[in-house]
Structures are given as structure tokens and as C-alpha cells.
Chains A and B, each alone.
Chain A
Amino acid sequence: MDEKADIRPLPRIGDQAPAFEAETTWGRLALEDFKDRWLILFSHPADFTPVCTTEFLAFQEIHQPLKDLGADLLGLSVDSVTAHIAWLRNIEEKFGVKIPFPIIADSDRKVAGLYGMIMPGESKTETSRCVFVIDPKGTLRAMIYYPMTTGRNLQEILRLVKALQTTDKNGVATPANWQPGDWVIMPPPKTMEAAEQRLQQGLDCKDWYFCKKKL
């Protein structure tokens, strides 16, 4: 196969998330079915593998907190629906945990290709641990990539969604290690006049470009 022919531009932050329709463990679903809500689309390398199993147990733990934020989870790997079902039943049997979200069976790697979930340097066939945060308008807002060896920090995904929603609601940015309730960052002023005004607004400013406030 000509590998060059398969090269396509990967989606970037700020792009419209690539549309898809795919078989899942909950029937056929399309990206448009998730519109008006946040979507966490994530991939894992393979069913019946230990790191992925720990991740799914952890995804189950953040499922309800995400739902409370208006966000849905949608998993993906190149395994078949049958393999997904067998694995999910095994997780329920061995760990007593029901996985409450659908998983795409991307056997033809169509969705993985659209989102760049396969990292040929790591594996030419399996998807890496990718996370795509898509907002209610269908815009890609954040992407996280982890290698196959390293399980993700699911609390970070929850924190990320909360941070993005705080940004959207208040027009602010969030600092390193931000948690809800912490100070937020005012966007830097764009003019000299705004910089002067900023210093007179009673904000907590280290300097004209570094002002924070409580929400």
C-alpha cells in the first residue's frame, strides 16, 4: 500500500471535529448525535488488556461527574463489537463494574484515521491512548495523547472539561493545576489603554499582563 496516499491532515485544536458514523456497542452512532453536549471521544489500544481495563474502570468513575457537566463519553478501538461485548461482560463479571457508555468498533480504522489515533511509530494497527474533547458546537477544544504503556489520569480529563467550561462562561483562562474555586487568569490586555485600566480595576495583578481574580 502506498503509505503516502493515506496521509491526511490531522484535526487540530479549534477545528471542527471530523464527522463520522460508526458501529458501537450501543448501535450505530454518529458524531452529530452528540451535538449540543460536550463529548469526550477516546481511544484505547485493545480489549482484554490490563492497562485498558484499569482505564475503563476509571472512566466509569468519571462518567456521572461528566454527565453532570453535560458531557458524554464515547470509547473506540479497532476491536469488533463482539470483542467489545465480551470484554465489557468480563469487566462486569471480574470487577463488578458495568461500563455505562458506548464503544466504537472501528475495525476498518475509519474514525481512527480521521482523528489520527494511530501512531505508526508505536503501532501500525492499534490506536494509542488519545482523548478528544469536543464542545457542544462540534469544535475540537483539547487533545491528549498517551502511549500504550501509560494509563491516563482520568481526573485530569474531568478537570480539563471544567476548565474549558469556566473559560467559555467567564471569558477567562485557567492557571497551572487550576481546580474549580481557584483564582482564574484575566486575558492580557490588547492595548496600552486597557493595560492602564487593568491596573486600576482593583484586580490582583503582579504586573499589567498578569492579573487574576476570583469568580
Chain B
Amino acid sequence: MACIQPDGTLSRSGEIILLALHSPGTPEEVARETRIDLFMVRGAMREFMQARYVEKEKHLFRLTPKGLAALEGVDDKNRQGETA
């Protein structure tokens, strides 16, 4: 359940966690919103930070331009799913 897969695409849980960061939040807030285990969210934040998809400012995590770009593809995919 790593968030960034070897081919560079996001796993489903990675998408959900990154989408939750459309507004900056703490891992606890993201875990509550997504109902994903807190330890999993913390691990995901570390992975996204290393990949520079998110950055930490004080205690809040926020998307970087690279993270936003990754989500553009996800949003497109979700929209296609809705209309399919």
C-alpha cells in the first residue's frame, strides 16, 4: 500500500490521502477525514515529503506544485469514472 507505485502512479490510498490535502491538514485530520489508519497516513506523509509531493509548514502538511500536478491526473480519472 505504498502511496507512490514503482511506475510513478499513485496507489488508491495514496490518491485518497493526497486528495485530502487539497486543504492543508495534520495527519490526524487526514486520518479522520479519510478513515485511513493514522500510522498509514503518517507513513504516507513521509513518502510524499521525500517525493516532494507535500511539504510541512509548522504542523500542517500541504500540497506542493508537484503534488498538485499529480492530483490533476487523479481528478481527470475520477471525472472520467463519474461520466462512464
Taking Cβ atoms with an 8 Å cutoff, the residues of A that contact B are 25-30, 32-34, 36-37, 72, 102
Chain A residues contacting B46 (CB-CB under 8 Å) are 28, 30, 33
State in angstroms the CA–CA spacing of A28 and B45 once bound together: 11
A34 to chain B, nearest CB (A): 5
Number of A-B contacts (CB under 8 A): 37
- Residue contact B1 to A32, C-beta cutoff 8 Å: no
- The SS class assigned to the B binding surface is helix
- Residue contact B39 to A27, C-beta cutoff 8 Å: no
- Residue contact A27 to B37, C-beta cutoff 8 Å: no
B 40-73 binary contact with A (CB < 8 Å = 1; else 0): 1011101100000000000000000000000000
Q: Residue A30 contacts which of B1, B2, B43 (CB distance < 8 angstroms)?
A: B43
A37 to chain B, nearest CB (A): 7
B 1-28 binary contact with A (CB < 8 Å = 1; else 0): 1110000000000000000000000000
A187 to chain B, nearest CB (A): 33
State in angstroms the CA–CA spacing of A177 and B2 once bound together: 41
- Residue contact A72 to B47, C-beta cutoff 8 Å: no
State in angstroms the CA–CA spacing of A37 and B37 once bound together: 11
A17 to chain B, nearest CB (A): 14
State in angstroms the CA–CA spacing of A171 and B2 once bound together: 41
- Smallest CB gap from A67: residue in B: B37
- Residue contact A27 to B42, C-beta cutoff 8 Å: no
User: Would you list 29 pairs from A and B whose C-beta atoms are within 8 A, ordered by A residue?
Assistant: A25-B1, A26-B1, A26-B2, A26-B40, A26-B43, A27-B1, A27-B2, A27-B3, A27-B44, A27-B47, A28-B2, A28-B46, A28-B47, A29-B40, A30-B42, A30-B43, A30-B46, A32-B42, A33-B38, A33-B39, A33-B40, A33-B43, A34-B39, A36-B38, A37-B38, A37-B39, A72-B37, A72-B39, A102-B40
- Residue contact A27 to B38, C-beta cutoff 8 Å: no
- Residue contact A28 to B43, C-beta cutoff 8 Å: yes
State in angstroms the CA–CA spacing of A102 and B42 once bound together: 14
State in angstroms the CA–CA spacing of A29 and B42 once bound together: 8
State in angstroms the CA–CA spacing of A26 and B39 once bound together: 10
